[in-house]
Structure 1
Amino acid sequence: MSREELINTTRSVLAKAGFEISSALNLRSICFDIVGRKDETLLIIKVLSNVDAFSRENADDMKVLADALKATPLLIGETSSSGPLEAGIVYSRFKIPIISNETLGEHLLEDVPPFIFAAPGGLYVKIDGELLRKIRETDGISLGTLAEVTGVSRRTIQMYESGMGAMIDAAMRLEEFLKVPIIEPVNPFEYASKKKPEDYEVKTGEHTSSNTLNRLLEIGFAITPVTKSPFEAISRSRQTVFLTGLGVDEERLIQKAIIASEISKIAGKHSLIIVERGRPAESIESTAVVTSEELKKIDDQDELTDLALSRSTKK
């Protein structure tokens, strides 16, 4: 299956599951292909036939965007160097969750979540550690007894109770002995980042390589530069967050503004394009357009925010 077909399949599954989804970007120069939202779940998705082609640079860029937008980065793929990605298993690369379209469909459309995750050393399952401890203590079962049943150490049983994943055969033996289901489903949309959006922002006293972004810093915006994206930065004022693009070439500028508009709507943010010269319109779709000359005359973040919001709402 071609990458374009894989992307279309992913979009189809998301749409059937009730997600609001972006157009298929399918641009190798950016770090994601689809943005989708349903309720509080915002996904930033990259689709690759072979997930081994997913680079650390791409993963880092996705994490910056995901943390800044409070989203989950997700990689959809078909194969790796080890063979086809199996249904019902959550893989990972550079701490980005990876699943197949089959797993995505089972999870969203058939309400059959994955129960297995791949990690160094093999395949594992999640155990409800609190339930395991409660049963053991209530029934007076010793750590030694469970260790003997599962073929692991007492320390390992304690680690299961603390949330560590278990090898599949050990978990199955535990369930069989206790006669209680203790294996939990794996949420492929669960992304535990240790970063805050502020961690990626340009620090006070620092500058970017862009005079325009530096001007935004001067008037009080917090700036997170992004690469491999259809926009150059995420700009945050006291009032709101803008997906911020910079443009010179009018044809490319319009394309960037349309993409930023679509993504910003799905992400629940706003979008802004700052152009070096001229201006095709005050807004393109819902993306506000401001010239660099206008920006030079603005001395406060609230003034630019109000101007951008007023233009983005014009039809």
Structure 2
Amino acid sequence: MVERLLNAALNIVRQHGSDLFIDTSRPYAYTIVMEYEGKKIFLKIARDANDVPSSAIRDMKLLSEFLNAPALFVVSSTDNEVLEEGVVYRRDSMNFVSLATLAKALRGELPKFYQSRSKRYVTVDGKALRERRESLGLSLSALSQMLSISRETLYRYEREEYPMPERVAVELFKRFSDDVAKKINIFNTTRASKIDKASRAIDINKYRLEQSHPNGIIYSDKPLFLVKDPEKKEKTRLLAEIFSVEVVEE
């Protein structure tokens, strides 16, 4: 299953950019580094989002931040339910998308819905929503009644205080267009949290990686890869060449 996903992902990658690195050493998820519009992007290919251990997600966040490289998981399902096109599933602050969503995003069609646990949301462009509402001569009260929500709730959406649930968004899009929802740039760099860094800290600015090539990463003025396992040296050096970083053997 993962091999079929990998081959399908590579076909998509090669239509829009190039693959620079492929690693199939982890059975739960394969790794691609692709180049797209001048960016180097990590793609982790897995069958289901829950097949990916939290340690692998933490590795990706550290690599993404310190290499300034976007990281993204491409999966078929979440909790064994098909991940629909145009929906971004979020787990531990990392984005998971389907092959179809990846293909559309590489064509410039970014998704707008995201899923957290079992619920879906959009982030409203408050200014665009307010301007569209006012251009149609609709008051907050009038539009809120159309959407079956309170005036206060609609006011908070326009102030972008919290995300809009899928049910309300679908009704809103029927009356306006989906231009009032913000696009999700799945190619943004992911940042590791303080907890992520603290859990992997070996020394000052030195972090352990558990599910990746290399074994660790140092970051001060520039990143350095750490490698100590002989079986990881070849892939680590290839990855270092791609990202123009030095390798330190321990």
TM over 0.5: yes
Please tell me whether residue 134 in structure 1 is matched to residue 134 in structure 2: no
The CA distance in 1 between the partners of 2:249 and 2:191, in whole Å, is 31
Alignment gaps of 5+ in structure 2: none
Q: Of 115, 123, 129, which residue of structure 1 is paired with 2:120?
A: 123
The CA distance in 1 between the partners of 2:210 and 2:170, in whole Å, is 45
Cα deviation for residue 274 of structure 1 reads: 2.0
RMSD across aligned positions (CA): 3.2
Corresponding residue number in structure 1 for 2:225: 243
- Greater Rg, structure 1 or structure 2? 1
Corresponding residue number in structure 2 for 1:14: 13
What count of residue pairs does the alignment treat as equivalent? 248
The amino acid of 1:25's aligned partner reads D
Q: Structure 2-normalised TM-score?
A: 0.81
Cα deviation for residue 134 of structure 1 reads: 3.1
Cα deviation for residue 20 of structure 1 reads: 4.5
Asked if the contact 1:257/1:273 (under 8 Å) is kept, the reply is no
Which secondary structure does the structure 1 equivalent of 2:110 belong to?
A: coil
Corresponding residue number in structure 1 for 2:215: 232
Q: Summarize the Cα distance change of 1:241–1:233 in structure 2 as closer, same or farther, 3 Å threshold.
A: same
Q: Structure 1-normalised TM-score?
A: 0.66
Q: Summarize the Cα distance change of 1:6–1:18 in structure 2 as closer, same or farther, 3 Å threshold.
A: same
The amino acid of 1:64's aligned partner reads L
The percentage of counterpart residues that share the same residue type is 21
Which secondary structure does the structure 2 equivalent of 1:230 belong to?
A: coil
Which secondary structure does the structure 1 equivalent of 2:123 belong to?
A: strand
Q: Summarize the Cα distance change of 1:72–1:146 in structure 2 as closer, same or farther, 3 Å threshold.
A: same
Corresponding residue number in structure 1 for 2:141: 144
Q: Please give the per-residue CA displacement for 1:60-117, whole angstroms capped at 9, x wherever unaligned.
A: 22222222222333111112335222222211222211111122122214x4332322
Q: Summarize the Cα distance change of 1:201–1:169 in structure 2 as closer, same or farther, 3 Å threshold.
A: closer
Q: Please give the per-residue CA displacement for 1:15-41, whole angstroms capped at 9, x wherever unaligned.
A: 22114531x211228976122232464
Please tell me whether residue 83 in structure 1 is matched to residue 81 in structure 2: yes
Q: Please give the per-residue CA displacement for 1:210-269, whole angstroms capped at 9, x wherever unaligned.
A: xxxx7xx7xxxx42222222222212354x32222125x5xx3xxx333123222333x3
Q: Of 237, 243, 258, which residue of structure 1 is paired with 2:234?
A: 258
The amino acid of 1:118's aligned partner reads Q
Asked if the contact 2:91/2:116 (under 8 Å) is kept, the reply is no
Cα deviation for residue 148 of structure 1 reads: 0.8
Higher alpha-carbon deviation: 124-133 or 98-107: 124-133
Asked if the contact 1:74/1:189 (under 8 Å) is kept, the reply is yes
Corresponding residue number in structure 1 for 2:158: 161
**Structure with the greater relative contact order (CA < 8 A, sep ≥ 6): 1 or 2?**
2
Asked if the contact 2:56/2:210 (under 8 Å) is kept, the reply is no
Please tell me whether residue 103 in structure 1 is matched to residue 101 in structure 2: yes
Please tell me whether residue 63 in structure 1 is matched to residue 61 in structure 2: yes
Q: Of 106, 111, 114, which residue of structure 1 is paired with 2:111?
A: 114
Asked if the contact 2:17/2:34 (under 8 Å) is kept, the reply is no
Asked if the contact 2:113/2:122 (under 8 Å) is kept, the reply is yes
Asked if the contact 2:66/2:219 (under 8 Å) is kept, the reply is no
Q: Please give the per-residue CA displacement for 1:279-307, whole angstroms capped at 9, x wherever unaligned.
A: xxxxxxxxxxxxxxxxxxxxxxxxxxxxx
